[in-house]
Chain A
Amino acid sequence: MTDFPGTTGLIFNEPLLWEKGKKGRTGFSLPRRDVASYPLDESITGDGPDFPDLSEVDVIRHYIRLSQWNFSVDSGMYPLGSCTMKYNPKTNERQASHPGFAGAHPLLPPHLSQGILQLMFELEKFLVEITGMDAASLQPAAGAHGELAGMLLFHAYHKSKGTPRSKIIVPDTAHGTNPASAALCGYKPVPIKSNEQGVLAPKDVAQVMDEETAGIMVTNPNTLGLFEENVKAIADIVHAKDGLVYCDGANMNAVMGIVHMGDIGIDVLHLNLHKTFSSPHGGGGPGSGPVCVRNQLEPFLPVPRVIQKDGHYLLSIDFPQSIGKLHAFCGNVGVLIRAYSYVASMGAENLKKASQLAVLNANYIKEKLRGTFHLAYDRPCMHECVFSDKYQQIHKVTTLDMVKRLMDYGFHPPTIYFPLVVPGAIMIEPTETESKENIDLFIDSMNAIANEAKENPDLLREAPKSAKRRRLDETAAARKPCLRG
């Protein structure tokens, strides 16, 4: 009998802090007053905010209990993968909490911020080397902001040539934010479909590429977890009409140090430091989405830029063709520190190995579960593999039912119903950090669920059974949202 990580256990109830407080309780003692008391102006006195009075143990238990209701990458496997968050080595947190970094103020003059400026200068160099590009900006706050930066760079490039353009080609396997970012810049997104192998065909790009089109936004590896193997030929088609190629590098986790993005014709690439470079970003932020560019686009990068002069690091705004400032100060610097720590502690060889293991792990799952679940595209995948609920439909069991059941086995559900080109999609990204033993347990769980779909489908429809909260009414939550307590 396989010992799955999921089990039933004692889960503590916990009220809101406001329901828990008792007048007069306290969790700290103030030092004795050593100055004379002074009456406050009446205009700023009155009743304080409605905060509960709590003891230290009240507060500690409250947050520990809440954390136990949660599923985290520190407690179990998260087959959502880097799409949400891969495992974040704790050394990154340690480095970011060094007082010199944690206490650095963005308004300090450069001569008092040499350490952090050096870190940013070197991180740009690291990212450029890892991706095979020429220059980078660390300013964008996250992936979609990087896309926006990329589109502004496209525009600045064509404008500098005196021929601004109006359209952008976006394939159906690109991230959904791509067409939105293009539209936000005033470009008209031109959608094209991927072929039956799940990748772009050069002829389909050639058909729509013209002198009105600023370029193409390709997600590579794409959202099906497949490598766009025709990307070089596509880049040649786009470049022949003086268009530019944007690569959404959100899936860079699969190809670090392996694909030289400059060589395959990419002009602008964004990275998600909070995914690939292992900075935590649960709950919506903060992220960091640097853009890397080829030489011809470097003059347009956002300002201020960190430059090196006479052995010192400075912030310079002296780039007259720059698209300007995209973020307050220098971007989300806390995330940059963690990414620097990740790159420096891994080293070149291990970054490459991380990508190789991420791809190996995904292909292992793909091969082990093929047959049990319908494989959307039967070909080698990159860091994630996409199944669907096609074989389970005869039991009237859906993707949603199966992944809810996965929680009972002790795994977080994977990404579902995305990418949209696969109906009932189950997208699994194990990442590089999971051991073979963990991955085998995950595979056994998926197989067990497929059997339950046949033999006891109601079990799946009612799942999860052992979580703190049972199946949530997502429909009611969306139709009649209750946005306050």
Chain B
Amino acid sequence: MKELSEINLPDDLRYAESHEWAKSAGDTLKIGITDYAQDQLGDIVFVELPDVGDSFEKGEEFGTVESVKAVSELYMPVGGEVVAVNSVLEDSPELVNNSPYSDGWMIEVKPDNPSEMDDLLTGDAYLEKLKG
């Protein structure tokens, strides 16, 4: 378990209070879960992701992540259509623990409303929320 000061929160990402991150990649966004989320969940053993072509609204459940402790829902930080999923996670769910912001990404989304990104938290603001 990490101290809050040890949580890695890169500046070029935006964060949701439900512990997902989103990163702008041109017209699309990549989405995953934060370093804090993976640390709290512990060893992740299964990631269930949607199909390419599925659409979800902001805040809607798009999948689940299962750790040795529990199954948790994944929520859309912004609404949009899924254009790619990280199918490598099917066989290597540990990537979410090892590199939550790079190889452990989960889905790529074409946002319905790109300005929804602005409603998400900066790394500093997310950290403040974690401190409660």
Contact = CB atoms under 8 A, between A and B. Distances in A.
B70 A420 contact: yes
A54 to B, nearest CB: 38
Contacts of A474: 43, 68
Nearest to B94: A479
Contact of A417 (B45, B66, B70): B70
A335 B46 CA distance: 36
B69 to A, nearest CB: 4
A396 B1 CA distance: 6
A418 B70 CA distance: 8
B111 interface: no
B40 interface: yes
Interface residues of A, number: 12
B93 interface: yes
B45 A479 contact: yes
B88 to A, nearest CB: 13
A393 B45 contact: no
Contacts of B70: 417-418, 420
Contacts, number: 26
Interface in A437-485: 474-475, 478-479
A398 B1 contact: yes
A474 B44 CA distance: 10
Interface in A308-363: none
Given A396-B1, A417-B69, A420-B70, A475 B40 contact: no
B93 to A, nearest CB: 6
Contacts of A423: 40
A393 B1 contact: yes
B46 A478 contact: yes
Interface in A416-442: 417-418, 420, 423
A478 B1 contact: no
A93 to B, nearest CB: 35
Contacts of B40: 423
A474 B67 CA distance: 10
Given A398-B1, A423-B40, A478 B45 contact: yes
Interface in B60-93: 66, 68-70, 93
A475 B45 contact: yes
Contacts of B93: 479
Contacts of A418: 70
Contacts of A398: 1, 42
Of A393, A396, A420, A478, which is in contact with the most chain B CB atoms at under 10 Å from its CB?
A478
A4 B55 CA distance: 57
B68 A475 contact: yes
B64 to A, nearest CB: 13
Of B1, B46, B94, which is in contact with the most chain A CB atoms at under 10 Å from its CB?
B1
A420 B43 CA distance: 17
Interface in B78-128: 93-94
Interface string A389-406: 000010010101000000
Contacts of A478: 45-46, 66, 68
B89 to A, nearest CB: 11
A442 to B, nearest CB: 23
Contacts of B42: 398, 400
Contacts of A393: 1
A396 B43 CA distance: 16
A418 B1 CA distance: 19
Contacts of A400: 42, 68-69
B61 to A, nearest CB: 11
A393 B46 CA distance: 25
A400 B69 CA distance: 9
Nearest to A396: B1
A201 B74 CA distance: 27
A423 B72 CA distance: 12
A20 to B, nearest CB: 34
A30 to B, nearest CB: 50
A203 B70 CA distance: 30
A479 B66 CA distance: 10
A420 B45 CA distance: 18
Nearest to B45: A478
A478 B66 CA distance: 10
A475 B94 CA distance: 9
Interface of A: 393, 396, 398, 400, 417-418, 420, 423, 474-475, 478-479
17 contacts: A393-B1, A396-B1, A398-B1, A400-B42, A400-B69, A417-B70, A418-B70, A474-B43, A475-B43, A475-B68, A475-B94, A478-B46, A478-B66, A479-B45, A479-B46, A479-B93, A479-B94
Given A398-B42, A479-B94, 18 more contacts: A393-B1, A396-B1, A398-B1, A400-B68, A400-B69, A417-B69, A417-B70, A418-B70, A420-B70, A474-B43, A474-B68, A475-B43, A475-B45, A475-B94, A478-B46, A478-B68, A479-B46, A479-B93
